[in-house]
Amino acid sequence: MSNNPLNINIVGKELVDYSRHILPSGKEVYFLVYEITHTDAQGLCRTYKDRVTFPPLDGGIQPESPEDVRECSECEGLFTASQTVSCHDCGRILCMQDAALTEENEERIPLCPEHAAKRNNPIVRFFNSLFKA
């Protein structure tokens, strides 16, 4: 989980702050703030703060805040809000992999697998079509 993009010489790593966020499913996500001490090219000690999420989100993006974390109700993966949609019919949160996007009246409607199956059922489609202008 070390993050050393600058290829600097890290001499210390200390957890200086954390917060715990409990998702609706009961899963816990920690927001950790590490103070990284490193030496620069001149050999001087510098510090910077490195923010990481534990566990790291499956979507690979560092969330802005605990409120930005979403759990997919299908695969139980963790994502940021921008990487998820909610089912139009039941509101379940889904990652892009698990969401079915249905085209309706030129609008893309996100659906969970159950509701996508229901809407694609030919009998449901037929009766729904009767009410369309």
Q: Provide, rounded to whole angstroms, the least separation between the CB of residue 63 and Zn ion.
A: 16
Is 58 a binding residue for Zn ion by CB under 5 A? The answer is no
User: DSSP assignment of the chain, as one string?
Assistant: ----TT--EEEEEEEEEEEEEE-TTS-EEEEEEEEEEEE-TTS-EEEEEEEEEESPPTT----SSGGGEEE-TTT--EEEGGGEEE-TTT--EEETTTPEEEEETTEEEEE-HHHHHHHH-HHHHHHHHHT--
Stretch that binds Zn ion, among 11-19, 45-53, 59-67, 76-84 (CB under 5 A): 76-84
Smallest separation, CB 66 to Zn ion (Å): 20
Count the Cβ atoms, other than its own, within 10 Å of residue 62.
13
| Residue 81 Cβ vs Zn ion, minimum distance, rounded to whole Å | 14
86 to 125, contacts with Zn ion by CB under 5 A?
87, 89-90, 95, 98, 112, 115
For the bound state, the minimum distance from the C-beta of residue 65 to Zn ion, rounded and expressed in Å, comes to 21
Q: Which is nearer to Zn ion, 72 or 109 (CB)?
A: 72
Residues that bind Zn ion (CB under 5 A): 72, 74-75, 77, 87, 89-90, 95, 98, 112, 115
